[in-house]
Amino acid sequence: MKRIIICLIICLFTAGLKAQIPNFSSTQYIDQEFGLGTISLTYGRPNVKGRKIFNGTEPYGVVWRTGANAATIIKFTDTVLVEGHKLMPGEYSLFTIPGATEWTVIFNKIAKQWGAYSYDQKQDVLRFKVKPFKLAAPVETLTIQFANVNIDKGILQILWENTGLSIHLKADVDARVIANIAQMMKGEKKPYYLAAIWYYNHNLDMRKALEWMNEVEKVQPDAYNVRYWKAKIQLKLGDKKGAIFSAKIGLAIAEKDKNAEYIRMNKEVLREAGAVK
């Protein structure tokens, strides 16, 4: 109880001074789109300042707030697999227990707390082990970032001093997006263009993707982007002749409109199809 009262006093005192005196460790806020939702991260960023951090300032085997000042907060608006473990939507504090060859990563349901002073293991919703790795170059300021992010996969990285940690994230979106596409196709405004690109990027039914892009082409016959994506789909289907025909039309339209991006992209398709070297 005494520890909690002390933490509350620190929080109130810090809040009163914040407008006049900045924190010694700056705060970073990150919003990362992921899957069909967003992951938000708030954490304090301490500096090494010549200290030995891990197995020094931050001892091995001791729960760490994974930042400075308040505990690091991470919020998910959608269900995410974290290193293969399902984590439901919600706001959590992110704690870690550093070790020489293995770290424990902790998601705790008490999101807003000061440091790890009132940390309660009974409030953990997820715990798992991750092996750290040595950084190629030292990192002075604690950095938590999202790396190698695409629609349904990404890595949450913790980088500081000479140590890095990678936490793999996955969102199961394919089945939900396919169901959404099927539902929208029943309406008046059918998402032919975006649906075809989704099917292309996720190696789904290419013939259906081509049918949808053909529907777009009927309405937009002079759109270089439509011709480009049709060529890409045809190429994936093995129809090199059709891909070359579509890409050449797309290239001619892009050149007429002086769109450098689609000039380059249509030429890339032609090279892939073997039409040019």
Predicted confidence band at 218 (pLDDT cuts at 50, 70, 90)? very high
User: What pLDDT digit, counting tens, does each position of 191-211 carry?
Assistant: 999 999 999 999 999 999 999
pLDDT of residue 228: 97
pLDDT of residue 277: 63
Q: Which of 205, 217, 212 has the alpha carbon at shortest distance from 245? A: 217
User: What pLDDT digit, counting tens, does each position of 110-168 carry?
Assistant: 998 998 898 999 999 999 999 999 999 999 999 999 999 998 899 999 999 999 999 99
Task: Identify the residue with better confidence: 98 or 11.
Answer: 98
pLDDT of residue 251: 95
Mean pLDDT (whole number) for 16-44: 84
Predicted confidence band at 229 (pLDDT cuts at 50, 70, 90)? very high
pLDDT of residue 16: 52
With pLDDT > 90 as the criterion, what percentage of the chain qualifies? 82
Predicted confidence band at 22 (pLDDT cuts at 50, 70, 90)? low
Mean pLDDT (whole number) for 174-197: 93
pLDDT of residue 48: 97
pLDDT of residue 86: 95
Mean pLDDT of the chain: 91
pTM reported for the whole predicted model: 0.75
Residue 56 has pLDDT above 70, yes or no: yes
Q: Which of 201, 157, 156 has the alpha carbon at shortest distance from 177? A: 201
Distance CA 15, CA 161 (A): 29
In the numeric block, which tokens belong to residue 213?
A: 């892009």
User: What pLDDT digit, counting tens, does each position of 67-90 carry?
Assistant: 999 999 999 999 999 999 999 999
Predicted confidence band at 265 (pLDDT cuts at 50, 70, 90)? very high
Domains and CATH numbers, the chain: 2-170 (no CATH), 174-272 (1.25.40.10)
3-class DSSP string for the chain:
CHHHHHHHHHHHHHHHHCCCCCCCCEEEEEEEEECCEEEEEEEEECECCCCCCECCCECCCCCECCCCCECEEEEECCCEEECCEEECCEEEEEEEECCCCCEEEEEECCCCCECCCCCCHHHEEEEEEECCEEEEEEEEEEEEEEECCCCCEEEEEEEEEEEEEEEEEECCCHHHHHHHHHHHCCCCCCCHHHHHHHHHHCCCCHHHHHHHHHHHHHHCCCCHHHHHHHHHHHHHCCCHHHHHHHHHHHHHHHHHHCCHHHHHHHHHHHHHCCCCC
pLDDT of residue 173: 87
pLDDT of residue 183: 94
The burial class, CB within 10 Å (0-12 / 13-18 / 19+), for 42 is buried
